[in-house]
């Protein structure tokens, strides 16, 4: 109940640290206004939807690292990502997602520009994951920022009319073209309760 019905993707084991590489997004006030409009409308279809409290764009799946691997893993990431510069993405396409085991459904904003730079980053992150014999990212990723989630596979209720209406809200939102053009300034790795930042040049 503490986790709102969310289910672990893998069992917790002492010495195993859930690890994730991503681009953090700090939401501005206007973005939160747009989020509120989208979530309140989507709740007319799925009342149990909860808005995300933090926002990011994933560059890896959630993988399991042994504690003694964290430092070399982070060092390898730092080396591989050192040459990357800041870049822009446009995330303006509303899309519905489910996680792999269909225990959660998400509404997200999919990237429509900036895909190439993201693939380059994923290629480097994948290289580090392979060094540690960990699963790499999805083969044909749909890069996105998750906005809201609910327990279970409720994609059927959110796709179709709901999705079209949500896209209309985004398209009509004042300054959405400017708002949803995002400059990425750093990459982050979260391992258990530890955070590591890699500034882009």
Helices (H) and strands (E) in the chain, counts: 6, 10
Helical segments of the chain, H only: 29-42, 70-81, 115-131, 155-158, 161-172, 176-179
The structure tokens listed for 57 are 């764009």
* Selected catalytic residue, list 20, 56, 85, 115: 56
144 is catalytic: yes
115 is catalytic: no
146 three-state secondary structure? strand
The structure tokens listed for 92 are 């303006």
**C-beta separation of 29 from 174 below 8 A:** no
- How many Cα neighbours within 13 Å face the side chain of 62? 12
Return d(Cα 96, Cα 172) in angstroms, integer: 19
Angle between helices 70-81 and 115-131 (to 10 degrees): 140
Catalytic residues: 56, 144
């Amino acid at each position: 109940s503490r986790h709102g019905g969310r289910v672990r993707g893998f069992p917790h084991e002492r010495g195993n640290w859930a690890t994730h590489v991503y681009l953090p997004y700090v939401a501005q006030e206007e973005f939160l206004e747009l989020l509120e409009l989208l979530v309140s409308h989507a709740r007319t279809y799925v009342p149990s939807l909860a808005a995300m409290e933090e926002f990011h764009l994933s560059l890896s799946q959630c993988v399991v690292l042994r504690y003694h691997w964290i430092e070399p893993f982070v060092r390898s990431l730092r080396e591989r990502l050192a040459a990357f510069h800041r870049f822009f993405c446009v995330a303006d396409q509303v899309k519905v997602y489910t996680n792999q085991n269909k225990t959660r459904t998400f509404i997200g904003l999919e990237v429509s520009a900036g895909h190439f730079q993201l693939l380059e980053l994923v290629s480097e992150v994948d290289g580090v994951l392979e060094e540690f014999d960990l699963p790499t990212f999805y083969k044909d990723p749909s890069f996105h920022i998750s906005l809201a989630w609910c327990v279970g596979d409720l994609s059927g209720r959110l796709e179709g009319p709901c999705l079209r209406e949500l896209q209309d809200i985004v398209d009509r939102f004042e300054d959405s073209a400017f708002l949803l053009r995002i400059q990425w300034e750093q990459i982050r790795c979260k391992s258990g309760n530890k955070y590591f930042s890699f500034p882009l040049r």
